[in-house]
């Protein structure tokens, strides 16, 4: 009898705790309704645009990796920058025209996220907070990123035709997502290795040095590629001009005037 009473109490306590702590049932119902609609729409888009390589239900095939657990951040980056759907196989899938609307991308992301838990697309507070530290972002960028992307994000070569693309013109959200998910040949920097704040600092640094508004105190940057473009410029425009002027000057002699 005592055991029965204890059991009843325990059940009541569990139920009461659940009732107290569970999320508001009404809101959840509304949300999950929209969510399941997005997933459904996303699946339709997926079956048309993605399944030929990634297989049904994102299981992956020889032509494309499994998408289970990549999360909505990866989808938002890959489709949002036009890399996916891929045009052709190659060393690396390149950025191209975006063919989905942001609403469709969100639906695709919702569908992929429903296949397994993964990093979620960041919010504006995460990728462009007001208090980002540009100088610290610069140090983090030089420590973690510049060995592939060059010191101001102009990009660089990797092995066998792969490359780290230029970061100029990439949106803050996409840069954040790339760090979060590590697309293609890029290593990923999850929050456990690089906290959200650090990612925002890096993005702030890139905005300070690598946008159309960034100041170029020295004049034309020649691509900010380092000494190769400078050397080429010195030979072609520097020495080239001087040689032309030397020829011009040598032609102006007394003999040339007479004839």
Partner 1 sequence: MSTTTEEAPAQRGRPSNPGERVAEWADGRLGLYKFAKSNLRKVFPDHWSFMLGEICLYSFTILILTGVYLTLFFHPSMNEVVYHGSYTPLQGVRMSEAYSSTLHISFDVRGGLLVRQIHHWSALIFIAAMIVHMMRVFFTGSFRKPREINWLFGWTLLFLGMFTGFTGYSLPDDLLSGTGVRFMEGAILSVPIVGTYLSMFLFGGEFPGHDFVGRFYSIHILLLPGMMAGLLVLHLILVFFHKHTQFPGAGKTEKNVVGAPFFPIYTAKAGGFFFIVFGVIAAIAAVATVNPIWEMGPYRPDQVSTGAQPDWYMGFSEGLIRVMPGWEIRAWGHTLVLGVFIPLMIFPLVMMSIAAYPFIEAWVTGDKSEHHLADRPRNRPVRTGIGVAWLTVYFILLIGGGNDIFATHFHLSINAITWFVRVSFFVAPVITYWITKRICLGLQRRDRDKVLHGRETGIIKRLPHGEFIEVHEPLSQQQLHVLTAHAQPKPLTLAPEVDENGVARKAGPIAKVQARLSQNWYGEHSQIPKPTAEEYEEITSGHGHH
Residues that bind partner 1 (CB under 8 A): 91, 134-136, 138-139, 142-143, 146-152, 154-161, 163-164, 205, 208-209, 216-222, 224-235, 237-239, 241-243, 245-247, 249-251, 253-255
**Which of 8/142 has CB closer to partner 1?**
142
Q: What is the DSSP string of 91-154?
A: SSPPP----S-HHHHHHHHHHHHHHS--PPPPPHHHHS-TT--HHHHHHHHHHHTHHHH-TTS-
The gap from C-alpha 163 to its chain's centroid, in whole angstroms, comes to 14
Residues composing the chain: 259
Shortest spacing between CB 21 and partner 1, in angstroms: 44
**Which of 5/247 has CB closer to partner 1?**
247
| 174 marked as part of a ligand binding site | no
Shortest spacing between CB 164 and partner 1, in angstroms: 7
Shortest spacing between CB 207 and partner 1, in angstroms: 10
Q: Quick check: helix, strand or coil at residue 98?
A: coil
Q: How far apart are CA 256 and CA 62, in angstroms?
A: 74
Q: How far apart are CA 148 and CA 165, in angstroms?
A: 9
**Which of 81/150 has CB closer to partner 1?**
150
| 160 marked as part of a ligand binding site | no
Report the b/e string of 14-40 with b at 16+ CB within 10 A.
Answer: eeeeeeeeeeeeeeeeeeeeeeeebbe
Shortest spacing between CB 121 and partner 1, in angstroms: 28
> From residue 174, how far is each of 60, 100, 129, 181, 207 by CA, in Å?
24, 15, 15, 10, 13
**Which of 30/87 has CB closer to partner 1?**
87
Shortest spacing between CB 134 and partner 1, in angstroms: 5
| 148 marked as part of a ligand binding site | yes
**Which of 119/138 has CB closer to partner 1?**
138
Binding residues: 50, 53-54, 145, 148-149
Residues at the annotated binding site for heme c?
A: 50, 53-54, 145, 148-149
């Amino acid at each position: 009898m005592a055991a029965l009473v204890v059991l009843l109490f325990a059940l009541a306590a569990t139920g009461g705790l659940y009732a107290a702590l569970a999320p508001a049932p009404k809101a959840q119902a509304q949300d999950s309704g929209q969510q399941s609609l997005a997933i459904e729409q996303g699946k339709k888009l997926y079956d048309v645009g993605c399944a030929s390589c990634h297989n049904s239900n994102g299981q992956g095939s020889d032509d494309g990796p499994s998408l289970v657990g990549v999360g909505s951040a990866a989808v938002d980056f890959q489709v949002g920058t036009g890399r996916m759907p891929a045009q052709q196989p190659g060393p690396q899938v390149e950025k191209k025209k975006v063919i989905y609307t942001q609403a469709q991308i969100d639906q695709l992301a919702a569908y992929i996220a429903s296949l397994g838990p993964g990093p979620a697309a960041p919010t504006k507070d995460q990728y462009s907070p007001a208090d980002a530290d540009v100088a610290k972002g610069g140090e983090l960028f030089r420590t973690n990123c510049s060995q592939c992307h060059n010191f101001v994000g102009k990009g660089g070569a990797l092995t066998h035709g792969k490359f780290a693309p230029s970061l100029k013109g990439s949106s803050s959200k996409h840069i954040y997502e790339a760090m979060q998910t590590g697309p293609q040949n890029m290593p990923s920097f999850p929050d456990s290795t690089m906290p959200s704040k650090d990612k925002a600092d890096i993005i702030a640094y890139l905005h300070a040095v690598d946008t159309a508004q960034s100041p170029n105190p020295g004049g034309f940057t020649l691509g900010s590629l380092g000494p190769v473009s400078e050397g080429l410029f010195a030979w072609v425009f520097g020495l080239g001009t001087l040689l032309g002027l030397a020829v011009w000057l040598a032609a102006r002699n007394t003999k040339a005037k007479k004839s």
